[in-house]
C-alpha cells in the first residue's frame, strides 16, 4: 500500500525537482497546440510513432512508458515528466489530450493503478538499485530481513524523529535502515554527513548525531569531510535525479513486495507498513 505524502518534512528548492504527488493531477483538456506550453525535454522510454497530439507532449518533455486501452474509446498513456509520473488520455479523434485521473461512477481512480504499474513501479525499482549502489550508512543488523532506504540530512528534525519512531524495529533486529546521507539543509549539513559517512564506525557516528541532535549533533571532522565530500555530493545529486525535494524520503517494500516511496515523516499508524509490517516483539 502506498502511503500519502505528508507535509512533515524538511524541504529544499535549489537542488532538486518538486516532489512526486501521485494521484493529484489537475484535469485539463488541451489541444495539440496548447500542449506546446509544457516544459523541458526528457528521455523517452521507447521510440515509436505517436499521434501528433501525443508527440507534441513528448517533444516538450514527457517520456512515455506505455499506452493502454481506456474506457469511452480513449487511449491512455502513462509516463514521466521531470521526475514525476503523469497520465493522459487521447480522444478518439486523435486531436485532443485529457490530462489527469480517470474516475468511474463509483469514484474509483482508474488511473492510479496504471501509474503504479507502468511508471512509478519501474522508477522505484531503478531508484532502489541506485540507492543500493550509493554511499549509505547501515543502521541496525545487517542480518535483518527488512531493508528500508531513507535519505537523511544530519540537521533534519524529521529525519531525527523518523529514526526515533523506527528504533523499536531496529533494536528488535527486524529492520536495517540504510541512511543515504545527504547535506542539503544547512551550511554544515554536508560536513556532518561526510563526518558520519567517513567515520571508522559510521553506524556509531550516526547514532552519536542522533543522541546529540538537540545539542548541535556530531562534531565535524575536517579530514573526513575532505575525504568524503564527493560521496555526499553524489548522494545529493542522486536525490535530485530521483525528483525528491524533502527529507526524509523513504523507500520500502509493501506487503506485495512492491517498492513504495514516501516523502516526509510517516504517521505513527503508518510505521508498521514502512517497516515492512515487522513486529517489534
Q: Report phi then psi at 180, rounded to 5.
A: -85, 100
What is the distance in angstroms between the CA of the first residue and the CA of the last residue of the chain?
23
Q: Could you tell me the sign of the dihedral formed by the alpha carbons of 273, 274, 276, 278, in that order? A: negative
User: Radius of gyration over alpha carbons of the chain, in Å?
Assistant: 21
Taken in order of first residue, the domains within the chain and their CATH numbers are: 24-105 (3.10.450.70), 130-274 (3.40.30.10)
Coil, strand or helix: which one is 197? helix
2 pLDDT exceeds 70?
no
Cβ neighbors of 162 (< 8 A, separation 6 or more) are 150, 248, 250, 265, 266
pLDDT higher at 150 or 13: 150
**Average pLDDT estimate for 229-256:** 95
pTM of the model: 0.76
- Which pLDDT tens digit goes with each residue over 146-173? 999 999 999 999 999 999 999 999 999 9
| CA 94 to each of CA 37, 54, 63, 89, 272: distance values in angstroms, whole numbers, following the listed order | 19, 9, 19, 10, 46
Using pLDDT thresholds of 50, 70 and 90, give the confidence band for residue 81. Answer: confident
- Which pLDDT tens digit goes with each residue over 112-157? 999 989 998 999 999 999 999 999 999 999 999 999 999 999 999 9
Residue 94 per-residue DSSP state: S
Amino acid at each position: 500500500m502506498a502511503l500519502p505524502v505528508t507535509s512533515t518534512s524538511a524541504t529544499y528548492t535549489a537542488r532538486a525537482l518538486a516532489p512526486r504527488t501521485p494521484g493529484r493531477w489537475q484535469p485539463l483538456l488541451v489541444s495539440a497546440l496548447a500542449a506546446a506550453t509544457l516544459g523541458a525535454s526528457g528521455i523517452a522510454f521507447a521510440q515509436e510513432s505517436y499521434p501528433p497530439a501525443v508527440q507534441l507532449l513528448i517533444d516538450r518533455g514527457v517520456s512515455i512508458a506505455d499506452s493502454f486501452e481506456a474506457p469511452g474509446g480513449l487511449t491512455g498513456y502513462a509516463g514521466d515528466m521531470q521526475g514525476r509520473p503523469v497520465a493522459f488520455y487521447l480522444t478518439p479523434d486523435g486531436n485532443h489530450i485529457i490530462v489527469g485521473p480517470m474516475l468511474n461512477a463509483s469514484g474509483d481512480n482508474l488511473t492510479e493503478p496504471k501509474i503504479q504499474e507502468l511508471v512509478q513501479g519501474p522508477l522505484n525499482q531503478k531508484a532502489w538499485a541506485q540507492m543500493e549502489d550509493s554511499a549509505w550508512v547501515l543502521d541496525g543488523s545487517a542480518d535483518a530481513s527488512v531493508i528500508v532506504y531513507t535519505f537523511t540530512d544530519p540537521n533534519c528534525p524529521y529525519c531525527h524523529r523518523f529514526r526515533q519512531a523506527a528504533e523499536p524495529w531496529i533494536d528488535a533486529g527486524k529492520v536495517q535502515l540504510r541512511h543515504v546521507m545527504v547535506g542539503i539543509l544547512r551550511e554544515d549539513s554536508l560536513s556532518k554527513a561526510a563526518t558520519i559517512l567517513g567515520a571508522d564506525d559510521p553506524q556509531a557516528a550516526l547514532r552519536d548525531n542522533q543522541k546529540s541532535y538537540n545539542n548541535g549533533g556530531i562534531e565535524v571532522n575536517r579530514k573526513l569531510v575532505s575525504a568524503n565530500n564527493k560521496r555526499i555530493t553524489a548522494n545529493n545529486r542522486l536525490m535530485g535525479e530521483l525528483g525528491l525535494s524533502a527529507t526524509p524520503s523513504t523507500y520500502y517494500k509493501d506487503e506485495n513486495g512492491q517498492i513504495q516511496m514516501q516523502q516526509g515523516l510517516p504517521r505513527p499508524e503508518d510505521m508498521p507498513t514502512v517497516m515492512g509490517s515487522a513486529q517489534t516483539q
